[in-house]
Structure 1
Amino acid sequence: MDFSFSEEQIAFRETARQFSEKALAPFAAEWDANSLFPKDAIREAGALGFCSLYCDEEHGGMGLSRLDAALIFEQLSQGCTSTTAFITIHNMATWMLTRFGSDAIRARWAADLMSGEKLASYCLTEPGAGSDAASLSTSAKKDGDDYVLNGAKAFISGAGDTDVLVLMARTGGPGAGAGDEGFGA
């Protein structure tokens, strides 16, 4: 079995390394010391495709594998671990929105999220359940065209600075698995 990187993977890594050295590393200590959320740097990452790494190409994403994304994240984290951690969360939330969202949701949010112009957070963690998806208790009950949410979330990375919150909630009864209704409009 050949474990060598492809030319494309090497190019992704090099682009991420150069970006990390120029746009993240020189500012990381200041961002952390002053509790700054570097939206401009994240937008720059989006311009390189780093905010849509595994979103499907049919929706405007890069369509990369998780391995390819990990190679990029590894290089970005050399410059700023906390900013890279947020970019991974943004990628996950954007992927869920583009993969499972309705056409209306994708039309409204996908392009701006994938470019980094708008940012997304992922809301899973709950008091008492932590980040164990199987233990979450927040519920979403259908009420006409809307959902009524009941529950609490904690530790939402980027919350307050992001434009979209992808929230995990149960749509079935106790012990039910993931809801079958997907993202609404």
Structure 2
Amino acid sequence: MTTDRLLPTDEAAAILDLAADIADRELAPRAEAAEENGEFPREALRTLGRAGLLGLPYPEEHGGGGQPYEVYLQVLETLAQRWLTVAEAVSVHTLACYPLAEYGAPEQRERWLPDMLGGELLGGYCLTEPAGGSDAAALTTKAVRDGGDFVISGTKAWITHAGVADFYQVFARTGGPGAAGISCVLAEAATPGINPQKPERKMGLNASPTAIIAFDDARVPTERLIGDEGTGFRIAMSALDAGRLGIAACAVGLAQAACDYATAYAKDREQFGTRIIDFQGVGFMLADMATQITAARQIVLHAARLKDAGRPYSVIAAQAKLFATDMAMKVTTDAVQVLGGYGYVRDHPVERYMREAKVLQIVEGTNQIQRMVIARAMGK
């Protein structure tokens, strides 16, 4: 399964083979029905956790895999080829673990991280607000100290895993206006006053719940503050740099699935006595799809290798997310076109791939935000 990949170690190749095996056996057969019925695959995530695939980029001492980011991202791509909801869930969970893994005190990591990385606890990331959108520094959710607790009040929007997560990383205002007044608090989902609302009715990823969460004077112990007060915005932005690579890898996997399906269809479908892949109009379209997927994959892996080397990677992460998700939207649209009328009906998965691709251009910072990040860096 890994013969076409350049992996850093034999262990990495074995991990990728394991991910592909689980995805083929446990994920792919269930994806269509679960998406149709809106059933969140919680047990599948536990299976991945017990197989060691939920904490790959985090230290082994806390139950992680101790793997380079380039290995983790290729696992995400592999999962996304079979079922995007699961790959996105792994990416979001990895994002939710990041503040604790990177900024938590040693005793906090020892206490909470093993169950997170082992898949027993599923995470959500509460940054975005209804009015704030991409302007995260303007968030209004408050966390006010009261004795040994923070009392959190406010509203978070577009929260993946709302209502099914076991913990939330909550970014709230503990100080004055602007980025310097924001802190990060690790909250148990069962905390009274944390109230997920009705899931949004989405165009895709229907098996992945997304909802508003209302914080109605939820009391969270101050010992759950991650990092120092006022460092929350820096933590959030650092986490998003890594998270954007996860979404980019998901986009590559989804596009590969669409390309593979369209190619197989084009080799089997005949018109005028000829396989449609042998018509230049179709063959060239498939060739462009394959080339764009390869290009996106290389940008994603280049960014991952910079991260693994400890070098700055924020701009290349924005480029990877921008290019890969725009590519996925184009490739899935073209896959529908290759199938013609059959691509527009739910008898074939490419129409679902096309609907799912759209959200990848929006989450973890819209692609317009990615262009702003890149342009600002160019202007310095």
Normalising by the smaller structure, the TM-score range is: 0.7 to 0.9
Specify the structure having the higher radius of gyration (Cα). Answer: 2
Identical columns (%): 37
Q: Alpha-carbon deviation of 1:175?
A: 1.3
Q: Alpha-carbon deviation of 1:132?
A: 4.2
Q: Structure 2 counterpart of 1:134, which letter?
A: A
CA change 1:132–1:69 in 2 (3 A) is farther
Residue aligning to 2:6: 4
CA change 1:6–1:103 in 2 (3 A) is closer
Q: Trace 1:49-68 onto structure 2 (pairs within 5 A).
A: 49-68=52-71
C-alpha distance in structure 1 between counterparts of 2:117 and 2:145, whole Å: 29
C-alpha distance in structure 1 between counterparts of 2:46 and 2:184, whole Å: 31
Residue aligning to 2:38: 35
Residue aligning to 1:118: 121
Which range moves more in the overlay, 149-158 or 171-180?
Answer: 171-180
Asked if 2 retains the 8 angstrom alpha-carbon contact of 1:52 and 1:95, the reply is: no
Q: TM-score, normalised by structure 1?
A: 0.86
Q: Alpha-carbon deviation of 1:14?
A: 1.6
Asked if 2 retains the 8 angstrom alpha-carbon contact of 1:101 and 1:182, the reply is: no
Residue aligning to 1:174: 177
Q: Structure 2 counterpart of 1:166, which letter?
A: Q
Q: Does 1:155 align with 2:154?
A: no
Q: Does 1:23 align with 2:26?
A: yes
Q: Alpha-carbon deviation of 1:73?
A: 0.2
CA change 1:171–1:64 in 2 (3 A) is farther
Which range moves more in the overlay, 114-123 or 70-79?
Answer: 114-123
C-alpha distance in structure 2 between counterparts of 1:171 and 1:130, whole Å: 20
* SS of equivalent to 1:82: helix
Which range moves more in the overlay, 166-175 or 35-44?
Answer: 166-175
Asked if 2 retains the 8 angstrom alpha-carbon contact of 1:51 and 1:91, the reply is: yes
* SS of equivalent to 1:45: helix
Structure with bigger RCO (C-alpha 8 Å, 6+ apart)? 1
Q: Alpha-carbon deviation of 1:134?
A: 2.7
Q: Trace 1:63-102 onto structure 2 (pairs within 5 A).
A: 63-102=66-105
Which range moves more in the overlay, 123-132 or 20-29?
Answer: 123-132
Q: TM-score, normalised by structure 2?
A: 0.44
CA change 1:180–1:61 in 2 (3 A) is same
C-alpha distance in structure 2 between counterparts of 1:114 and 1:86, whole Å: 13
Q: Deviations over 1:24-49 (max 9, x none)?
A: 11101111111111111100000121
C-alpha distance in structure 2 between counterparts of 1:136 and 1:50, whole Å: 33
Q: Deviations over 1:82-138 (max 9, x none)?
A: 121011111121232333334554454322222212211111121011254333222
Which range moves more in the overlay, 52-61 or 154-163?
Answer: 52-61
Structure 2, gaps ≥5 residues long? 187-222, 225-380
Asked if 2 retains the 8 angstrom alpha-carbon contact of 1:55 and 1:94, the reply is: no
- How many residue pairs match? The answer is 183
Q: Structure 2 counterpart of 1:4, which letter?
A: L
Q: Structure 2 counterpart of 1:34, which letter?
A: N
CA change 1:105–1:159 in 2 (3 A) is farther
CA change 1:156–1:142 in 2 (3 A) is same
Asked if 2 retains the 8 angstrom alpha-carbon contact of 1:54 and 1:95, the reply is: no
* SS of equivalent to 2:158: coil
